[in-house]
Amino acid sequence: MSEAVIEYIGGPLLRARTEGPFGLYESVAIGEERLLGEVVRLDGDHITVQVYEDTTGLAPGRRLAGTGRPLSIPLGPGVLGGMYDGLLRPLDGFDSPFIPRGSFRERDQAYRFTPSVAVGERLSPGAVLGAAEREGAMDQQVLLPPDVDGEVVEIAPAGEYREAEVICRIENARGERREVAARQDWPVRIARPLARRLPVDEPLITGQRVIDSLFPVGLGGKAAVPGGFGTGKTVLLETLARWCSADVIIYVGCGERGNELTGMLEEFPGLVDPRSGRSLMERTVIIANTSNMPVAAREASIYTAVTLAEYYRDQGLHVALMADSTSRWAEALREISGRLGELPGEAGYPAYLSSRLADFYERAAKGETLAGKVGSVTVMGTVSPPAGDFSEPVTSHTKRYVRSFWALDARRAQARMYPAINPLQSYAEETSRLAAWWQARGNSDWPRLRRATLELLEEQTRLERMARIIGKDALPFGQQMRLLAAELLNDAFLRQSAFSENDRYASPERQTVMLRLLIRFADLAQQAVARGVTPAEITGLRIYRRLQRMGEDLPPDDLAAYQALGEDMERELQALAEEVTA
Ligand SMILES: Nc1ncnc2c1ncn2[C@@H]1O[C@H](COP(=O)(O)OP(=O)(O)OP(=O)(O)O)[C@@H](O)[C@H]1O
Ligand SMILES: [Mg+2]
């Protein structure tokens, strides 16, 4: 492999004079410690390298060596359940998210392999070789790499192996033999192949009403969570990580303060998986890059995460990837670009900010895997725009690539209306594709309910504006009632405490009955007012209070209780209307 001599070092970048050919994005090993780096610029007989570790102590004159391959991460059954830095290097324990420089150990976990193929079998690329089991992790599979195919010449019998051990020998049509181990490298900046992409036509169920019912994200879709300081981005992503319907969770803590991440690292291993009753960590991977870790590793971390997500997807699993925060990632990009002396674009970000964001979000997909199964990667990223201004570059470029946009609102957060998703600034595209999914679950009028809800919320804004000018009491009763119905919708449906036992997760069925109740209430109340009932008489009803608190008061799975609530509602409103007419 080619070598080069370091001439200049500046922060995470160094410049070296080459003594042989290097490729762009080739990974390199620097100095005796073999620090990890990546070639980011070629320039005659010089290369510029970004270094994924602290460069303190490196000096001009030291040598670096090419590896002949792009920056890659070691995938394998040993990853799940652990915590890593931006290049998938294991972080020791959960108490300290730091690795001493140059000291990372190669991961080589033991696992139990049970083959599902036999000698003589012909395999196509990406085929399943067998099952992989490990203490502390969900069951996984070992696949043939996407670029290997042929006849099985040798396959290991069931037993304990290490990830790097060869478990299969395979010979292709040209007679070339390949050795296959469970641990397989894959370049982070290149998407793993699918047999074909499938339409995103079912939702990722999150249990968050405002998301699933109004602004859903598809399984294999992509969503952004923009929000100013302290508006609840992290709590929302963590809630989704815990409750969403994905099989595997990949959580990237990107450039957040060290203490914030430590809090999460302490909490996560203790969380119980609502599905299995076991530790949630068994199907979770945490990638941690706090603000005090090397900036280049932060830049790579989101690609590492999505590569890992694709690896589980290829096993026929549904993966949810959460990145918090992509703004801190973009700042890393900006810092490196600045040091490279590139021409700065909007707000100092490089001109390729947008295409790099696309490289990340476009890897979200639902598809048929090479092994013929269906898997998906759903990507959700937070954005922290300075001063909550959504017109800044990271938010506006992100908007081009995501299909769901959950805008967090400082005013709602201050009013403790959590999750503080502003329904008028948020959107979800292609909801028409998801209607069939709801229909199959007994909610054929989901599109109608959703539309009625959004209309009521839009009307609320309009009426509130009017009320500010002329005073609420000056509005006609009909409009006052619309406002009250909208407020009820906010309180009873959109608001959902992440900390309430009954309310933190709402099944699609429960969401449907709740929304039906509230939209029905709005209609009945409107009719009653038309017959002469006053809005105050309606809000004075017992049912009004009960609707307001139904999420927290009623047991989550007791749909009959909602049914009864609905019957009481019809009765009370009916009685009131009759009283007036009598
Ligand atoms: N869904 C929720 N239910 C109840 N409380 C919440 C919810 N979301 C946020 N909060 C409250 O708001 C606080 C701030 O939330 P969070 O840390 O998620 O904000 P953030 O947007 O990630 O902030 P930063 O900009 O600092 O990263 C939380 O500590 C919590 O008290
Ligand atoms: Mg946060």
Q: pLDDT band at residue 495, thresholds of 50, 70 and 90?
A: very high
For the Cβ of 254 lying below 6 angstroms from any atom of ligand 1, the answer is: no
Lowest-pLDDT choice from 216-225, 375-384, 548-557? 548-557
- Contact at 8 Å (CB) between 327 and 233? no
Q: Pick the more confident residue, 387 or 183.
A: 183
Residue 139 and residue 113: Cα distance in Å, rounded? Answer: 11
Q: What is the pLDDT of residue 499?
A: 84
> Average pLDDT in the 137-147 region?
96
Output the furthest CA–CA distance in the chain (Å, rounded): 99
pLDDT-derived band of residue 53, with 50, 70 and 90 as boundaries? confident
What residue owns the CA closest to ligand 1's atom 12?
Answer: 232
Tokens 């074909």 — which residue? 196
Domains in the chain, CATH or no CATH each: 3-70 (2.40.30.20), 108-182 (2.40.50.100), 196-429 (3.40.50.300), 446-581 (1.10.1140.10)
pLDDT at 284 over 80: yes
Q: Which residue lies with its CA nearest to atom 16 of ligand 1?
A: 232
* pLDDT recorded at residue 125: 97
Mean pLDDT of the chain: 92
Quick: pLDDT tens for 423-434.
999 999 989 999
Residues whose CB falls within 8 Å of the CB of residue 50, separated by 6 or more in sequence, listed in order? 12, 13, 37, 38, 40, 296, 299, 336
pLDDT at 1: 84
- DSSP E strands: which ranges in 76-232? 83-84, 110-115, 122-123, 128-134, 137-143, 150-155, 159-162, 166-171, 177-181, 184-187, 196-198, 222-226
Residue 428 near residue 440, CB atoms below 8 Å:
no
| Ligand 1 atom at minimum distance from 256 CA | 27
Q: Is the CB of 127 under 6 A from ligand 1?
A: no
Distance between CA atoms of 342 and 582, rounded to whole angstroms?
Answer: 79
Tokens standing for residue 54:
């602290």
> Ligand 2 centre and the CA of 324: distance in Å?
7
Residue 96: the pLDDT is 46
Asked if 170 contacts 122 with a C-beta cutoff of 8 angstroms, the reply is: no
Q: From the CA of 200, how far away is ligand 2's center (Å)?
A: 28
Q: Which residues partner with 186 through β-bridges? A: 73
Distance 420 CA to ligand 2 centre (A): 13
Residue nearest to atom 28 of ligand 1 (CA): 232
> Given ligand 1 and candidates 209, 210, 211, 234, which is best to mutate, with the most ligand atoms within 8 Å of its CB?
234
Give, using CA atoms, the residue closest to atom 31 of ligand 1: 232
Q: Which residue has the tokens 């959700």?
A: 380
DSSP state of 432: G
6-to-2, 54, 59 alpha-carbon distances in Å: 13, 15, 7
Q: What is the pLDDT of residues 172-224, one digit of tens each?
A: 999 999 999 999 999 999 999 999 999 999 999 999 999 999 999 999 999 99
Whether the pLDDT of residue 101 is over 70: the answer is no
